[in-house]
A and B are shown apart, each in its own frame.
Chain A
Amino acid sequence: MSSLYRNSFAAIALLALICGCDRDKQEPRGNPLGETIPIAASPDTIFPGGKTPPSLDPRAAAYEQNAYAIAQGQQLFTWMNCAGCHSHGGGGMGPALMDGKWRYGGRIDQIAASIANGRPNGMPSWRGKLTNQQIWQLAAYVRTLSGQVRKDAVGARGDTMSNSPPQTETVRKPVTQADSAQ
C-alpha cells in the first residue's frame, strides 16, 4: 500500500471524525453487529407500572440516516416487491408508509421488527428470507418515505421509471405513536 494512499485514507478518516458524520459510511459486507434481529421493538405505548418506553435498539444508529443503507434498502424495496403492495409509500394492498401513521410503530427498530416478523393482516414475514442487515436497510429506507431522514442522505432519483416525485421533495410527516390507525 503506497504511503500516498495511506495518507489520504487517514485524511478521509480524520475528516469523517471531525464532521462526526457517518452518512456516507459503507459496509458492503456488513459489520459484525452480533445478533441483529430486532426483537426489543414492541409497538406498544402503554407499560404497566409506569411509562418506560424501550430505548432505541443500539444497532439502529448504523442504518438510520446512512445514505448507503438507505440506497440498499431502496433497491430491495423494489426487488422484494415491497412496492407492489406499498407503492412508493402511498400504499395499496398494504398500508401507506409515507403518512406518519404507524400501526406497529414508526421507529426504525419497530419497522425492522414488522419486516422480520410480519403482521397478521397480510404483511409477510421476511425473517430468513432476507439477511438481518438487509432488513435494517429496508427499515432505513422506509423511514425516508415519510421524510424522517435528512435530505442529503436520500437518493434524489428513484430506481424505477417512477411516476412519483423525487424523494428529496418528500415532506416530513410527524411520526405518530403506534396506533391501530383504522
Chain B
Amino acid sequence: MRRILAVIVAIVVVLVIVAILWGTRGRNAPTTVDYGAASAAKAVPAASASPPDDGNWTMPGKDYASTRFSGLNQITPANVGKLQVAFTFSTGTTEGFEAPPLVVNNTMYVVTPWPNNVFALDLTKPGAPAKWVYKPNTAAAAKGVACCGPVNRGAVYADGKLFLNLLDGHTVALDANSGAELWRTQVADIQKGETITMAPLVAAGKVLVGNSGGEMGVRGRLTALDEGSGKIAWIGYSTGPDKDVLIGPDYHPPYAKDAGKDLGVSTWPPGMWKIGGGSVWGWLSYDPKLKLVYYGTSNPGPWNSTQRPGDNKFTAGVFARDIDTGKVRWFYQSTPHDLYDHDDINEIVLADVPGPNGQRIPAMLRPSRNGFFYVQDRRSGRVLSAQPYGYINVYKGVDLKSGQLIPVPAMEPQEGRVLRNICPASPGAKDWNPSAFSPITGLVYIPHINLCQDMGIQNANYIAGTPFVGADVKMYAGPGGNRGVFTAWDPIAQRKVFEIKEDLPLWSPALATGGNLVFYGTMDGWFKAIDARTGKLLWQFKTASGIIGQPISYRGPDGRQYIAVPSGVGGWAGAIVTADLDPDDPTAALGFVNAVKDLKTRVAAGGVVYVFALPQ
C-alpha cells in the first residue's frame, strides 16, 4: 500500500512539474489554439465530442463535451481592455435571464425566460434587427410551480431547426429560418409540479429533455424525442423499478453499492419513489464515440431526509445511458440519501486525462454540488479522484475504493432542532451555473458560491402541484465572508491554481476563449474578463441588470470575434429582486434570501443581451 502511495505521489509530482514547465512555456508563446499534441500532463477535450471551432455557438455547452470554450483568439489579454459594446438587445422580460444566445450562420437566437419567446437577430445588418419572433404562449400558471424562478437555460440549434423547452412542460422545434413551429410535444405536467427549465441536448437524431421539480415531489426522468417528429422514443426514469429506469443486462455500475435489482424501489420507504424527485434539470453531455449520454439527477424529495430512509436511488447521481435505447450503462450515486438538497445535475466536461503508460483515459470532469471535484472514467463511471474545491464540513471525503461519500454523522438534520452551520448550503459549493474548460491551460474555470446554512426539518405533506420540502433554511456567507468564488481548478493535479473572491454569490456560467481569456459576470451586473493563466482582472463592464447568464463568443459576418452575454438577474439567488421577496423573512426563497438581503439595493431586474467587440 505504501509503495503504491509513493508511486502515486511521484507521478503527481512529475505531473505538477511538467504542468508548471508547460505553463511557463505557454506564457511566452504566441496564443494559438493548437493544443492537440504536446499536452501530456493536461486534460484535453474528448476529440469526438469537441470538434474544431467554426465560429458558431449552437448549443449552451458549446459542444457535446460541454467545454464552453471558444477557439476564437482575436481578443487577447493584450487588447481586451479596448473591448466595447457593439450592440444590445432588450428582450422585454424581467425574469432571471440564464439562456446563452446562440449564433448560427450569421443569425443570433435569443431565448427569454418565461414566456420563452425567441428572437432571431440578423447579424449581417447594422444593429442586428429581428428576422422573426416566436411567442409560444407558455402558461402563466407554470410560474407557480417553478421552484427557483421561471428561467430557461437555452435552446439548441441542429440541422436547420431550433429546439427549446417551455416552462409549462412542452418541447418545441422551430424552423430556424422562419421561426415556424414544426412540432410541440408535452413531456412534463404542471399539475404534478413539473416544469422544464433545462436546455435540451440534440444528438443522434434524438432531442433529450428532462423535467424540473425536485422541490415539488415529481418523479424525475429523461425523455428522448425523435428529432424529426417530436414523438417520444424512450423515457428513462430516475426512480422506480428497473424496467422504468431502463436498467437491463447492459447495466454495469462501477461500484457494488449501485448494483442490485430494482434499487429504485428498494432504497425507498414503500411508494416514496413515486414522488421522490431525481429530476433532470441540468446539463447533458454526449460522447459520440461511446454513444453514451451523461447527466446528473437532482436531490431526492422531500428535503426532510427522515421521511425517506435509504439510499434513495437513483437521485443525486450520474447516469450514463445509451442514446439509442436509453438503457443505463452505469450509474454512480455521488450523494446517497441526500440530506441537504445537494443535487448532482451540474455540468459534465468530457475530457481525456493522462493515464498509466502514457495512455489517455476517457474521463469526465465534474464539479459537483456536494463540493467535490470528480474525475471519473466515463467508460465505467469509476472515480479517479474526488477533491473538495470549496469549503465542506458535512462530508469527510470520497472513498475511492468503494466510491462512497463519507458523511459527518453529527451534521445529519434531526426533527425537533435546528442544525447550524451546514457547509456547503443547499445550493451546494456550486449550483447550476456551468464551468468552462480551456484545452490551452487544461484548467476548469468554476464560478461558484460560498454559503452555509441553518436547517430545521419537519414533516412534509405531499399534495400534487405544491412544494414537497419540509425544511426551514436560512443561508449566509461561508468562511471568509465572500459569498461567491471563481476558482481555476487543475483536474489532474487536483488543486486550485487561482481563486477570485466575489462578494455576491456567483450565478453566471463561465466562458473560456482561445485568446486565453475567461469571462464571467456578477449578480450586480459586472461582466469581467480575466487572464486564463493568472486570474488577473483585465477588463470589466457594468451591464444594466445582474448577470446570471451564459456568455458566448462567436465570429461575426465581418470575420471579427464577438463576445455576448445576457444581463438579467434572477433565478434562485436573484429571486429576491425579480419576485420582490421580503428580506425580513430569512427563510424566503428556501432560505436564499437571507444570504442576499442587500441585493435589492444593488441591482434591478432586466433582460438585455450585450454584444462586445474590439474597435474596428
Contact = CB atoms under 8 A, between A and B. Distances in A.
Interface in A102-140: 120-124
B144 A161 contact: no
Nearest to B146: A93
Contacts of B461: 79-81
A73 interface: no
B140 A122 contact: yes
Given A81-B468, A160-B456, A90 B215 contact: no
A89 to B, nearest CB: 5
A147 to B, nearest CB: 10
A181 B581 CA distance: 12
Contacts of B456: 160-163
A92 B575 contact: yes
B474 A90 contact: no
Contacts of A23: none
Contacts of A168: none
Nearest to A84: B467
Nearest to B420: A163
Nearest to B463: A81
Interface in B272-321: none
A162 B458 CA distance: 10
Sorting the interface of chain B by its residue count into under 10, 10 to 19, 20 to 34 or 35 or more gives 35 or more
Interface string B583-597: 111111111011000
Contact of A89 (B140, B466, B582): B582
A91 B588 contact: yes
A81 B466 CA distance: 6
Best-surrounded residue of A80, A87, A98, A101 (most CB of chain B within 10 A): A87
Best-surrounded residue of B94, B141, B584, B588 (most CB of chain A within 10 A): B584
A161 B142 CA distance: 30
B49 interface: no
B589 A84 contact: no
Contacts of A121: 140-141, 143-144
Interface in A72-87: 78-81, 84-85, 87
A182 B584 CA distance: 19
B166 to A, nearest CB: 15
Given A80-B461, A81-B467, A162-B472, A124 B579 contact: no
Contacts of A89: 582, 584-585, 588
Contacts of B590: 87, 92
A96 B454 contact: no
Contact of A98 (B94, B144, B585): B585
A91 B144 contact: no
A8 B416 CA distance: 39
A94 interface: yes
Contacts of A79: 461
B144 A84 contact: no
B416 A161 contact: yes
Given A85-B144, A90-B587, A92-B589, A99 B469 contact: no
A90 B472 contact: no
Contacts of B585: 87-91, 96, 98, 164
Given A93-B145, A95-B580, A163-B454, A88 B140 contact: no
Interface in B450-485: 454, 456-458, 460-461, 463, 465-469, 472-474
A171 B582 CA distance: 12
Contacts of B586: 90, 163-164
Nearest to A171: B584
A124 B593 CA distance: 24
Contacts of A164: 472, 585-587
Given A81-B468, A92-B575, A124 B588 contact: no
A91 to B, nearest CB: 4
Nearest to B579: A91
A158 to B, nearest CB: 9
Nearest to A86: B588
B417 interface: yes
B417 A161 contact: yes
A92 B581 CA distance: 7
Interface in B564-616: 575, 579-591, 593-594
A156 B146 CA distance: 32
Contacts of A162: 456, 472, 587
Contacts of A182: 94, 580
Contacts of A95: 579-581
A121 B587 CA distance: 22
B571 to A, nearest CB: 12
A88 B587 contact: yes
A102 to B, nearest CB: 12
Given A85-B466, A122-B140, A101 B584 contact: no
20 contacts: A81-B460, A84-B466, A84-B467, A85-B467, A88-B472, A88-B585, A90-B582, A91-B579, A91-B585, A92-B579, A93-B146, A95-B581, A98-B582, A98-B584, A121-B144, A123-B144, A160-B472, A161-B457, A163-B586, A163-B594
Interface of B: 94, 140-147, 215, 415-418, 454, 456-458, 460-461, 463, 465-469, 472-474, 575, 579-591, 593-594
Given A96-B585, A121-B141, A164-B587, 11 more contacts: A80-B461, A85-B144, A93-B467, A95-B579, A95-B581, A96-B579, A122-B141, A161-B416, A163-B418, A163-B456, A163-B591
